[in-house]
């Protein structure tokens, strides 16, 4: 079946512009995560959705960052007034959660990422 998809794959923008990054999770996966990976760095958690609600937004770096999820499926991460330090690969992951006892249900599967470059 189809994996997690993200668009655009690459985005170059000018400082101060707004950008929207899209994630389409694996069908049926209720949980969706956004991470950021800067050059040579590990993955940094941004936000977690369970269905359409976001129980954990603790990783969003500033109020310029926001995300939403509609219909329990597609999610959009929006960065307003982009800064050069926002340049990174933005990765989305989804997992099948809910219920108990099935080992590995919470395994997160990653999309290909969006490479954002802010000039």
Which residues form the interface with another protein (CB under 8 A)?
31, 33, 35, 41-45, 48, 50, 56, 59, 89, 91, 93, 97, 103-104, 106-113
Between residues 81 and 102, which has the closer beta carbon with respect to another protein? 102
Candidates 23, 31, 1; CA nearest to 89 is 23
Maximum Cα interatomic distance, the chain, rounded to a whole number of Å: 48
Smallest distance from the beta carbon of 81 to another protein, in angstroms?
26
28: helix, strand or coil = coil
Between residues 81 and 107, which has the closer beta carbon with respect to another protein? 107
Smallest distance from the beta carbon of 45 to another protein, in angstroms?
4
Radius of gyration of the chain (CA): 14
**Peptide linkage before 43 cis (omega within 30 of 0):** no
Phi, psi at 75, each rounded to 5°:
-125, 150
Between residues 76 and 108, which has the closer beta carbon with respect to another protein? 108
Handedness of CA 113, 95, 20, 38 (dihedral sign): negative
Smallest distance from the beta carbon of 111 to another protein, in angstroms?
6
Smallest distance from the beta carbon of 53 to another protein, in angstroms?
13
Between residues 43 and 74, which has the closer beta carbon with respect to another protein? 43
């Amino acid at each position: 079946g189809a994996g997690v998809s993200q668009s655009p794959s690459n985005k170059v923008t000018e400082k101060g512009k707004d950008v929207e990054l899209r994630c389409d999770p694996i069908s049926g996966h209720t949980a969706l995560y956004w991470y950021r990976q800067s050059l040579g760095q590990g993955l940094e958690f941004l936000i977690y959705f369970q269905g359409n609600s976001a129980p954990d937004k603790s990783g969003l770096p500033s109020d310029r960052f926001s995300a939403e999820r509609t219909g329990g499926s597609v999610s959009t991460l929006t960065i307003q007034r982009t800064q050069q330090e926002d340049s990174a690969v933005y990765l989305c992951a989804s997992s099948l959660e809910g219920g108990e006892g099935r080992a590995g249900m919470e395994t997160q599967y990653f999309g290909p990422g969006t490479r954002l470059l802010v000039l």
